[in-house]
Structure formats: structure tokens, C-alpha cells
């Protein structure tokens, strides 16, 4: 079996996941209909800023934190009944992360097209 390129993997994943615009994400966020999750690394937040009100879960810890038995749910930081809207810097990591969450059994999960790069020039407040 041949090893897939990242581009091939992303193309396959994009056909299986939900991608939303920053406007769609902002409306869901304002109406409190989603868990907005920033999966960038901490140094990225320190260098570029963060979205006010977003939850930060680094990509490397996403599946651990979003295990239904984790303390993040017990402490009420994340509402399992709301859609999970993920974003990274540009959209690649968040696309792969959405696929992983779908593989875990999450149904209501999407990512923001263009990631933080798009968010920074949208209605979201960057702090």
C-alpha cells in the first residue's frame, strides 16, 4: 500500500466533514449554539492572539479532552449537546481533527474554513 500525501489525505477528509464559514461560526457562537474550540498550540495563541470566548484544546490533546469521561465535560466547560466548531491556523489540522472526532462518534462537528487566518478578519473579537 502506498503512503498518501498530505494533500490526498486532506482531499479525502474534506469530502467527509462539514466546513463552515466564519460568518456561520460567528452566528452559531453568538446564539450560544456551539462549542468554539481553538486547537492551535499555546505558542500560536501567544503570538497571534486568541478568539474571545473560545475554548482552547491543543490538537495533540483533543481526543483525550473530548473523551466523554473526561473532566472537561464534568466541569461544564463543554456542552456535548452543542455543535463542536474547531479551528486551527489555516484549516488543515482542524479538518483532520473533525474527522477524528467523527471517528470517535461525534455527529455535530465542523471546522471553520481558513482557520484563524479567516477569523482574524471576521466579526470575532481577537484578544
pLDDT digits (tens, 9 = 90+) for 65-112: 999 888 877 777 888 899 999 999 999 999 999 999 999 999 999 999
Residue 97 has a pLDDT of 98
In this structure, are strands 55-56 and 83-87 parallel, antiparallel, or unpaired?
unpaired
Whole-Å CA distances, 67 to 15, 30, 71: 25, 26, 9
Find out if CATH 3.40.250.10 is the number for domain 17-119.
Answer: yes
Residue 104 has a pLDDT of 96
Q: What is the DSSP letter of 126?
A: B
- Given a cut of 90, is residue 124 above it in pLDDT? yes
Quote the CA–CA distance of 74 and 51 in Å, as a whole number: 24
Residue 66 has a pLDDT of 93
Rounded to 5°, the CA angle 94-108-50 comes to 40
Q: What is the DSSP letter of 88?
A: -
Quote the CA–CA distance of 92 and 51 in Å, as a whole number: 18
Quote the CA–CA distance of 97 and 17 in Å, as a whole number: 10
Rounded to 5°, the CA angle 64-96-4 comes to 125
Q: What pTM was estimated for this model as a whole? A: 0.94
Tell me: the pLDDT tens digits for 7-60?
Answer: 999 999 999 999 999 999 999 999 999 999 999 999 999 999 999 999 999 999
Quote the CA–CA distance of 118 and 81 in Å, as a whole number: 26
Residue 116 has a pLDDT of 98
Residue 120 has a pLDDT of 95
Amino acid at each position: 500500500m502506498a503512503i498518501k500525501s498530505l494533500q490526498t489525505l486532506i482531499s479525502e477528509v474534506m469530502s467527509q466533514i462539514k466546513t463552515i464559514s466564519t460568518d456561520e461560526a460567528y452566528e452559531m457562537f453568538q446564539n450560544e449554539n456551539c462549542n468554539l474550540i481553538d486547537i492551535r498550540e499555546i505558542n500560536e495563541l501567544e503570538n497571534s492572539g486568541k478568539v474571545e470566548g473560545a475554548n482552547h484544546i491543543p490538537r495533540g490533546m483533543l481526543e483525550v479532552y473530548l473523551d466523554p469521561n473526561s473532566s472537561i465535560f464534568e466541569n461544564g466547560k463543554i456542552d456535548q449537546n452543542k455543535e463542536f466548531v474547531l479551528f486551527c491556523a489555516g484549516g488543515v489540522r482542524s479538518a483532520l481533527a473533525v474527522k477524528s472526532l467523527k471517528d470517535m462518534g461525534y455527529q455535530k462537528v465542523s471546522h471553520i474554513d481558513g482557520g484563524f487566518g479567516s477569523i482574524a478578519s471576521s466579526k470575532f473579537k481577537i484578544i
